[in-house]
Amino acid sequence: MIEIDRITKVYGDTTVVDAVSMTVDTGTITAIVGTSGSGKTTLLRMINRLVEPSSGEVRINGEPTRDTAPHLLRRRIGYAIQGHGLFPHHTVARNIAAVPRLLGWPRYRIAARVDELLGLFGLDPAEFRDRYPQDLSGGQQQRVGVARALASRPDLLLMDEPFGALDPIIRARAQQDLRAIQQKLGSTIMIVTHDMDEAMSLGDRVGVMDGGRLVQYAPPQEIVARPATPFVAEMVGEAERPLRFLSLIPLRDLVEPGEAEGAPLSDAASLRDALSACLRSGRDAVPVTRDGAPMGRVTLAALRREAARCP
């Protein structure tokens, strides 16, 4: 568990981060979203002490971060940034091995870990181990960057706009991969983004920063349903709120017994997917399946009722 306790950063007369407190549960993804200048990156960088807080403290599993020397603290916290920041003079394997080497892991254990991570990120170890970062595509470099951040099984992974440099298609893939890997490894992740869609789709909880303050910190459903301030509402996008609301609810929550025509959807798909399917094919209901077996249906009327619940 990560506890951030009234952490503040003041530069001269400007308060960049203003008494932010939040708790991040182990094994969850927290997305910090805000416009540029909202203090979100400074907040993240204070957690691994790349920026020293002016006041307040951060505790990781109850232990204040200021009790550890900054470089030792950072070896326990993964760090992935936009544009990956890989070492151009080291091979992919050596890049991923950076923190385990610092921690003095035995060689065989490092090699095994490198191959394990490459496999996890869909990069064939035999093919990629000895390549140099500039020989990889942007998406591959980014995956190696995240693999490096996860190499020593850190208590916490901090990500600063990790997908910012990727094109939309690769980006969506990278988000899915991150979700899958996080669930597999049970990692605790804090990710900073300016993209509300990214925050909503990745975050178990979303923190919205505005002018150095954390104005709302809640699960995505609640951010959409009850934006705490006009700024949060604006970030969510007022006109799109019902759609966002539907996109956060899986079909399994609304499935009812009955039959329906046409191509079925999985029970993990969102209500927004079902609405889209209805509109596209002119149907009033779509069949829902779980693991390929019929489960029931979701009707347009039910979708409309559900969307109306969004205040």
Least distance to other proteins from the beta carbon of 42, Å? 14
**Rounded to whole angstroms, how far apart are CA atoms 48 and 78?**
9
Interacting residues toward other proteins by CB under 8 A = 48, 50, 71-76, 78-79, 81-89, 98-99, 102, 130, 132-135, 145, 148-149
* 3-state secondary structure labels for all residues of 141-166: HHHHHHHHHHCCCCCEEEEECCCCCC
Q: Are 55 and 48 in contact, with CB atoms under 8 Å apart?
A: no
Q: Are 297 and 259 in contact, with CB atoms under 8 Å apart?
A: yes
Quote the radius of gyration of the chain (alpha carbons, Å): 22
Least distance to other proteins from the beta carbon of 80, Å? 8
Complete DSSP assignment for 57-69: EEEETTEEGGGS-
The residue (of 178 and 298) whose beta carbon lies closer to other proteins is 178
The residue (of 161 and 267) whose beta carbon lies closer to other proteins is 161
Least distance to other proteins from the beta carbon of 59, Å? 19
The residue (of 81 and 254) whose beta carbon lies closer to other proteins is 81
**Rounded to whole angstroms, how far apart are CA atoms 8 and 14?**
11
The residue (of 157 and 255) whose beta carbon lies closer to other proteins is 157
Q: Are 9 and 39 in contact, with CB atoms under 8 Å apart?
A: yes
Least distance to other proteins from the beta carbon of 87, Å? 6
Least distance to other proteins from the beta carbon of 75, Å? 4
Least distance to other proteins from the beta carbon of 183, Å? 24
Q: What angle do CA 234, 238, 242 make, to 5 degrees?
A: 135
Q: Are 191 and 162 in contact, with CB atoms under 8 Å apart?
A: yes
* H or E segment to which residue 285 belongs: strand 285-290
The residue (of 72 and 112) whose beta carbon lies closer to other proteins is 72
The residue (of 50 and 307) whose beta carbon lies closer to other proteins is 50
